[in-house]
């Protein structure tokens, strides 16, 4: 027996394949099944240059900000960090955006999709202690839905 994603994507036999062929994956897959490892910045330790280098290396325009315990604080944008570097400043605290969309690891994709579709930064996956576990990008959701042929991601 595998994970829900394994069973849907690689059925072990013809019987299982027949059983899962009409399953709406958006109601089976959860955030933890499609999340990816986040790029983070420890706002008490790391400065603007560290954040910019991490973004450049990964080809992204935002990075999530955490404290030393990996609790989510917010996110910063490359433009803001670039401005800080130009000013010769390092403290990112005043540029942290707090309007982060968060979901729990067990939240189903059909509930997540509306958040991801309208978000300007990835959706953060956090546990009950608000520790950042992963992020969900639009492409991860769309890829999961395409693999499973989900029809209506907003229905239950």
Q: Rounded to the nearest 5°, which phi and psi values hold at 104?
A: -85, 155
CA distance 117 to 79: 22
Q: Per the CATH hierarchy, to which homologous superfamily does domain 4-148 belong?
A: CBS-domain (3.10.580.10)
Give the largest CA-CA distance in the chain: 64
Give residue-wise pLDDT tens across range 8-24: 666 677 766 665 566 66
Query: Can you give the pLDDT at residue 9?
Result: 65
pTM, full prediction: 0.77
Whether residue 150 is predicted with pLDDT greater than 70 in this model: the reply is no
Give residue-wise pLDDT tens across range 64-97: 999 999 999 999 999 999 999 999 988 899 999 9
26 — pLDDT class (breaks 50, 70, 90): low
For residue 21, give both structure tokens: 């062929």
Whether residue 144 is predicted with pLDDT greater than 80 in this model: the reply is no
């Amino acid at each position: 027996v595998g994970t829900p994603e394994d069973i849907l994507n690689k059925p072990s036999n013809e019987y299982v394949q027949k059983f899962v062929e009409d399953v709406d994956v958006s109601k089976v897959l959860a955030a933890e099944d499609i999340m990816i490892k986040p790029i983070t910045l420890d706002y008490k330790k790391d400065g603007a240059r560290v954040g910019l280098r991490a973004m450049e290396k990964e080809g992204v325009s935002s990075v999530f900000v955490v404290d030393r315990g990996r609790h989510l604080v917010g996110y910063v944008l490359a433009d803001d960090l670039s401005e800080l570097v130009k000013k010769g400043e390092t403290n990112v605290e005043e540029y942290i955006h707090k309007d982060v969309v968060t979901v729990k690891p067990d939240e189903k994709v059909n509930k997540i999709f509306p958040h991801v579709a309208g978000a300007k930064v990835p959706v953060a996956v956090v546990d009950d202690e608000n520790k950042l576990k992963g992020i969900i990008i639009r492409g991860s959701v769309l890829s999961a839905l395409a693999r499973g042929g989900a029809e209506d991601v907003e229905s239950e």
